């Protein structure tokens, strides 16, 4: 019998497609509900749903990754060359589809969620690596994101620095967030001419 311990699980990654949307929604729903406990109270978690969740533009742009283990989605997250910094399809006031300029702007890291069954196994870290490499390959030298309080420890551990605390006002109350950024390692051209 082949029983894998959590640490031995083989994760594979790929870009999400429209077929993944229902499963992605489920992972996000569980992560928002369960993994923000201890960082936010239940009222704040309810409010956070108004500024978190699925952004189908990321999937349509093919800049949204998922990590799978044994056919299950272990986590997801993406990057973007669009100006929207955070929020889901429903957060219309936060959306801005304008394209960023890699020479001047920071790419965005967006919508990071790990399934509660797969936390603290490097899923978030690995997705961040994928996002940063893809943004660097697209010519960006910096990335920015809007961190939830639950996301803050991951981003700090991965070299992100705090730019400013932000309070997102919603109909269900304020949600504390932190804008963070990171300078990317430039892609070096190893070809010999
Ligand atoms: C934030 C989130 C994506 C982290 O996912 P994860 O796959 O468990 O993170 P990783 O296993 O890659 O963690 C890497 C490192 O980040 C830090 N870290 C991650 N989660 C942490 C936590 N809850 N408490 C303290 N440190 C944490 C640790 O340093 C960890 O390394 P270690 O496990 O060796 O100590 C997940 O908790 C989540 O989905 N949260 C709810 C949704 C959310 O708020 N997303 C962020 C939106 S901005």
- Residues 123-168 pLDDT 10s: 999 999 999 999 999 999 999 999 999 999 999 999 999 999 999 9
- Ligand 1, residue 128: give the atom nearest the CA: 12
Residue in 40, 124, 160, 175 to alter for ligand 1 test, most ligand atoms within 8 A of Cβ:
124
List residues near ligand 1 (CB under 6 A): 31-32, 35-36, 75, 112-114, 119-125, 147-148, 150-151, 153-154, 157
Give this prediction's pTM. 0.94
Distance from Cα 190 to the centre of ligand 1, integer Å: 33
Distance from Cα 38 to the centre of ligand 1, integer Å: 13
Q: What is the CATH number of domain 9-141?
A: 3.40.630.30
Number of Cβ atoms within 10 Å of the Cβ of 146: 22
- Return the SS3 of 104: coil
Domain ranges of the chain: 9-141
Residue 60's contacts (CB-CB under 8 Å, 6 or more residues apart) are: 18
pLDDT tens profile 80-118? 999 999 999 999 999 999 999 999 999 999 999 999 999
Reported confidence tier of residue 71, pLDDT bands at 50, 70, 90:
very high
């Amino acid at each position: 019998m082949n029983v894998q311990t959590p640490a031995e699980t083989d994760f594979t990654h790929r870009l999400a497609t429209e077929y993944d949307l229902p499963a992605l929604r489920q992972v996000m729903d569980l992560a928002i509900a369960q993994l923000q406990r201890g960082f936010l109270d239940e009222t704040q978690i309810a409010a956070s749903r108004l500024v978190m969740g699925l952004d189908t533009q990321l999937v349509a742009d093919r800049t949204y990754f998922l990590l799978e283990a044994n056919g299950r989605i272990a986590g997801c997250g993406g990057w973007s060359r669009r100006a929207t910094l955070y929020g889901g399809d429903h957060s219309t006031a936060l959306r801005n589809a304008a394209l960023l300029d890699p020479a001047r702007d920071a790419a965005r890291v967006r919508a990071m969620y790990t399934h509660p069954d797969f936390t603290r196994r490097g899923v978030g870290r690995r997705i961040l690596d994928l996002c940063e490499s893809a943004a660097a390959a697209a010519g960006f030298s910096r990335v920015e994101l809007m961190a939830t309080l639950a996301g803050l420890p991951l981003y700090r551990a991965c070299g992100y620095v705090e730019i400013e605390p932000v309070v997102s006002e919603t109909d269900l109350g304020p949600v504390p967030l932190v804008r963070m950024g990171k300078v990317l390692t430039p892609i070096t051209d190893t070809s010999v001419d």
